[in-house]
Chain A
Amino acid sequence: MTEAQHITKERILALLENVKDPEVPVISIRELGVLRDVSVETGVVVVTITPTYTGCPAMDVMKADIEHELRASGIQDFEVKQVLAPAWTTDWISDEGRSKLKGYGIAPPERTADIRALKGAQPIVACPQCGSKNTVMLSPFGSTACKALWKCNDCLEPFDQFKCL
């Protein structure tokens, strides 16, 4: 059997679990919802990803990491495609991704269907450190494009929130 015949979608998906968000290294690109599709046709692997934010510099790093991961496993024939539509939404972050974000100290985003989000009102965000809901947003723009900066009024710790998009 040639190398090409060993290449299956399942194997690629397993490999890509190793590709993490460079800015939140606990969460994989699948859990983040950035990985949209993997297809293997006549030995050619096509990986489709979508950017979180239009200008997110991490996208280029993720693309390079995917290419590195594939090459390291002896896969030569591949293409990493970027698509814009449908536009990425934080609703695509998986439940395991959400709990990993929280464990990392980042409050996960509320759902876009949340009634407060629909009305454009500020969400009620629980502090990822102490769980208190007595929190306040300091700035809608945090350390990266996808995060807002919050502060907990109870434990007084500042924290990042992955903002709803």
Chain B
Amino acid sequence: MDQHQALLTYCLRRGDDNLILSHRLGEWCGHGPQLEEDIALTNRALDLIGQARNYLQYAAEVEGKGRTEDDLAFLRSERQFVNTMLVEQLNGDYAHTICRSFLYDAWHLPLQQALTKSADERIAAIAGKAVKEVSYHLRTSSEWMIRFGDGTEESHVRAQTALDALWTFTGDLFVQDDVDAILVKAGVVPDMAPIRSAFDKTVETVLAEATLERPVDGHMATGGRQGKHSEHLGYLLAEMQYLQRAHPGAQW
């Protein structure tokens, strides 16, 4: 693999993470537990879809085969998506949705902070904008984790249950392969070790305040970066891509 191929794959990974989580958060639209939360979830979905577009536009340019961001979003199949498995997990109850976002945000913020120093100017510019938005995301999901964990007996149990169920997917966030190795060497992307430390510190601080217990690392589900996904992604894509599959090239 050369650096060009690595850059393309990296942009797809960042784009797919944001696109898939954005779609999941968007599923709450009109179903939020209260109006303010409904709006807050879709606000975050909007930020993430914007970030996904930035990365997929760049991926399309890097690829240089005439595909557009829309082609990449709507015409790739499940095995061609390289998002982390965490983001495709079902919404579940509200604790589950918040916990999924919290784990993602705790990883996403230090990653974007590091990417602002990327040797690739375009990635540094995308990260420079994203980092401001993601700071708000992490603050919000952290506050909810604390409210649930340190709330009622039921909210505590639900938050801990969600955390236990989702923890297995956190391993996938830190997987590094050839793509990362090539780009780390070129100064385009950061090494994952300091991102892991920042993630651990955020998780430790927030869970302590939330009186929740950090699950023990057991079997960690990985493979998302290679296009191996849980059963949920196919259904998500079936819904997300339906229009372009049924009516190719439809526009409005």
Contact = CB atoms under 8 A, between A and B. Distances in A.
Interface of A: 51, 53-57, 83-88, 120, 138-143, 145, 149, 163, 165
A126 to B, nearest CB: 21
B217 to A, nearest CB: 29
B36 A149 contact: yes
Interface of B: 36-37, 39-40, 43-44, 46-51, 53-54, 121, 124-126, 128-130, 132-133, 135-136, 139-140
A108 B239 CA distance: 40
Nearest to A52: B129
Contact of B48 (A55, A83, A86, A139): A55
Given A84-B125, A140-B140, A145-B47, A54 B130 contact: yes
A140 B40 contact: yes
B109 to A, nearest CB: 12
A55 B49 contact: yes
B43 A87 contact: no
B105 to A, nearest CB: 13
A14 B53 CA distance: 32
Contacts of B135: 120
Nearest to B54: A54
B50 to A, nearest CB: 3
Contact of A145 (B36, B46, B126): B46
Contacts of A83: 125
B139 A54 contact: no
A136 B53 CA distance: 34
A164 to B, nearest CB: 9
Contacts of B130: 54
A65 B49 CA distance: 23
A88 B129 contact: yes
A139 to B, nearest CB: 4
Contacts of B40: 139-141
Contacts of A141: 36, 39-40, 43-44, 136, 140
B128 A53 contact: no
Nearest to A163: B136
A120 B136 CA distance: 10
A139 B39 contact: yes
Given A55-B50, A145-B43, A165-B132, A139 B36 contact: yes
B189 to A, nearest CB: 18
Given A54-B47, A57-B46, A142 B129 contact: no
A57 B46 CA distance: 9
Given A139-B36, A139-B37, A143-B39, A86 B128 contact: yes
A54 B58 CA distance: 14
A53 B39 contact: no
A84 B51 CA distance: 11
Contact of A140 (B49, B126, B132, B139): B139
A94 B56 CA distance: 33
Contacts of A142: 39, 43
Nearest to A90: B132
